[in-house]
Amino acid sequence: MEEMAATQPTRRSLAYVIVASFLLGSFSGAAFGLLFAVSLNSEYYPWRETPAAASDRPAPVSAEDRQVIDAVREVSPSVVSIIATKDVAKMYGSTGAFPFEQSFGLELPRPQAPKQGQKRQISGGTGFIISSDGLIVTNRHVVADVEAEYEAVMSDGRRLSAKVAAIDAVLDIALLKVEAQGLPVAPLGDASKLEAGETVIAIGNALSEYSNSVTKGVISGINRRVIAGDGYGDAEVIEEAIQTDAAINPGNSGGPLVDLRGEVIGINTAVNRTGQSIGFAIPIDAVKVVIDSYKAHGRIVRPWLGVRYVMLTPESAKADSLASEGALIVGGVEGEGVAIASGSPAEKADLKSGDVLLEVDGIRLGRERPLGSVIAGKRVGDRVAIRLLRETTEMSVQATLAELPSAP
């Protein structure tokens, strides 16, 4: 019995040791596995480390993106959305009986004419402020409706009544005026130094809904001659237009085209809808002439020669046995538009239909320097020397530019 009593405690102790060893081994293995896993993750999978807080990470902005952001911040406060509203009663027209009513024996309810004074937004566009006392540049077609009322919505949300101050008879440019002081002014750049491939930014009231929308692209071409129409039969020629692939949507008209220096280098004006990302802007240098004229005279004064012309291409000149390039004075088809305006400087200088103008003050005329842009760079009263080809004879005349008559 004594022998057995001594054996029982020994077996119990052995059991305790085995259990303890098992537990200790399990704990040690787990701890080692955890430490090894942490070490393995840190060494071989560094992206699994706990990420830093978002505010501690640098923003992923490239140098060019930073230039774009800074340019937008510079110009955006001066960009306005232009809203046109109109009395609904003026938009409502009676067309008599419903055209299918008699054919189908229908009796349709008559729509009630709107009450006088009810107004509705009819269009929208963009402009930008050029003087702190409220002078705004936009496109002429944005404010073409003389019966509409216009508002300029500032970048801070203020809505100010806007009056049309001046309309340019040559380019698609108009000036608006709001009654305010201390407004942010858009810095104007130099379009003569632009090169194809430069990054540019368009800012505007896209679709007349998304104010101060920003799109980015490049200058696709310069000195483009564009015939821009409004879809209702009216069209005009834009000389030396800037072509860009920055998205220009309805509502962007009149907004600024901006370079990376944060300067306005053009007014977004037209798009070619038969292609993709083909938009056009009026160079800001042409706009400066309009602004200076308004500030000096209270209206837009344009120099005038008084000829109707087409710019020749080498191909068209060769076909007609004319000079390789120049401005051919020609009348309109079926008498629509005379070649030489009555009483004009051109008539006084004895210019004739069929003359090909080769140079003005030593500037060779061609597709890169059309007659209209050369004359637009002059002032009323300037006396210009014109070299021309009449049939087969070259000759020179002098003409004194007059002020472009106002439209009747």
Q: Which of 141, 208, 211, 213 is catalytic?
A: 141
List of residues 6+ apart from 297 with CB closer than 8 A: none
User: How far is Cα 323 from Cα 388, in angstroms, rounded to an integer?
Assistant: 10
Count of other CB atoms within 10 angstroms of residue 44: 8
Under DSSP, is residue 40 helix (H, G, I), strand (E, B) or coil? helix
Q: Evaluate whether 309 touches 357 at the Cβ level (below 8 Å).
A: yes
Q: What angle do CA 19, 22, 28 make, to 5 degrees?
A: 140
Pairing state of beta strands 264-271 and 210-229?
unpaired
297 flagged as catalytic? no
Q: Which of 81, 123, 208, 253 is catalytic?
A: 253
Name the residue among 113, 139, 116 with its Cα closest to residue 128: 139
**Phi and psi for 214 in degrees, rounded to 5?**
-120, 130
Q: Which of 352, 97, 92, 370 is nearest to 223 (CA)?
A: 370
Residue with tokens 């004594």: 2
Beta bridge partners of 242: 281
Question: 361 an active-site residue?
Answer: no
Catalytic residue at 141?
yes
User: Measured between alpha carbons, how far is 173 from 97 in angstroms, rounded to an integer?
Assistant: 42
Among candidate residues 168, 172, 259, 285, the one labeled active-site is: 172
Catalytic residues: 141, 172, 253
